[in-house]
Amino acid sequence: MQVVILCGGQGTRLREVSENLIPKPMVTVGDHPILWHIMKHYSHFGYNDFILCLGHLGWKIKEYFLNYHAMESDLTVRLGATHSIQILNDCSEMDWKVTLVETGKDTGTGGRLKRIVKHLTGDDFMLTYGDGVSNVDLNALERFHRDHSKLQTITGVISPSRFGELEVVDDRVVSMREKPLATERHINGGYMVFRREYIDRYLLGLDDATMLERKPMETAATDGELAIFRHDDFWQCVDTPRDWTMLNEAWNADKAPWRIW
User: Residue 187 forms beta bridges with which residues?
Assistant: 157, 165
CA nearest neighbour of 130 among 57, 180, 179? 57
Do 136 and 45 contact (CB within 8 A), yes or no?
A: no
Q: What span, in angstroms and rounded, lies between the C-alpha atoms of 49 and 97?
A: 5
Q: In 3-state terms, what secondary structure has residue 209?
A: coil
String of DSSP letters for 13-61: GGHHHHTTSS-GGGSEETTEEHHHHHHHHHHHTT--EEEEEE-TTHHHH
What Rg value do the Cα atoms of the chain yield, rounded? 19
pLDDT of residue 21: 83
pLDDT of residue 181: 46
Average pLDDT, the chain: 89
Sign of the CA dihedral with 241 first, then 242, 243, and 245 last: positive
- Section 235-243 average pLDDT: 91
- Section 211-235 average pLDDT: 95
Predicted confidence (pLDDT) at residue 196 exceeds the cutoff of 90: yes
pLDDT in tens, 126-139: 999 999 999 999 99
Do 49 and 97 contact (CB within 8 A), yes or no?
A: yes
Q: Percent of the chain at pLDDT above 70? A: 88
CA nearest neighbour of 25 among 129, 162, 154, 157? 129
Predicted confidence (pLDDT) at residue 166 exceeds the cutoff of 70: no
- Section 194-214 average pLDDT: 94
Predicted confidence (pLDDT) at residue 165 exceeds the cutoff of 70: no
At 182, the pLDDT band (50, 70, 90 cuts) reads very low
Predicted confidence (pLDDT) at residue 183 exceeds the cutoff of 60: no
Q: What span, in angstroms and rounded, lies between the C-alpha atoms of 3 and 125?
A: 6
Lowest mean pLDDT among 160-164, 166-170, 183-187, 200-204: 160-164
At 176, the pLDDT band (50, 70, 90 cuts) reads low
Predicted confidence (pLDDT) at residue 169 exceeds the cutoff of 90: no
String of DSSP letters for 78-119: E-STT-EEEE-S--TTTT-EEEEEE--SS--HHHHHHHTGGG
pLDDT in tens, 24-55: 999 999 999 999 999 999 999 999 999 999 99
Predicted confidence (pLDDT) at residue 171 exceeds the cutoff of 80: no
Q: What span, in angstroms and rounded, lies between the C-alpha atoms of 105 and 88?
A: 38
pLDDT in tens, 107-124: 999 999 999 999 999 999
Q: What span, in angstroms and rounded, lies between the C-alpha atoms of 119 and 85?
A: 32
Q: Percent of the chain at pLDDT above 90? A: 70
Q: What is the pTM of this model?
A: 0.87
CA 249 and chain centroid, separation: 22
Q: What are the φ and ψ backbone dihedral angles of 209, each rounded to 5 degrees? A: -80, -5
Q: What contacts 96, CB < 8 A, 6 or more positions away? A: 39, 43, 48, 50
Max CA distance (Å), the chain: 69
pLDDT in tens, 62-72: 999 999 988 88
Q: Would you tell me how many other CB atoms lie within 10 Å of the CB of residue 87? A: 13
Q: What contacts 141, CB < 8 A, 6 or more positions away? A: 126, 153, 155, 191, 193, 229
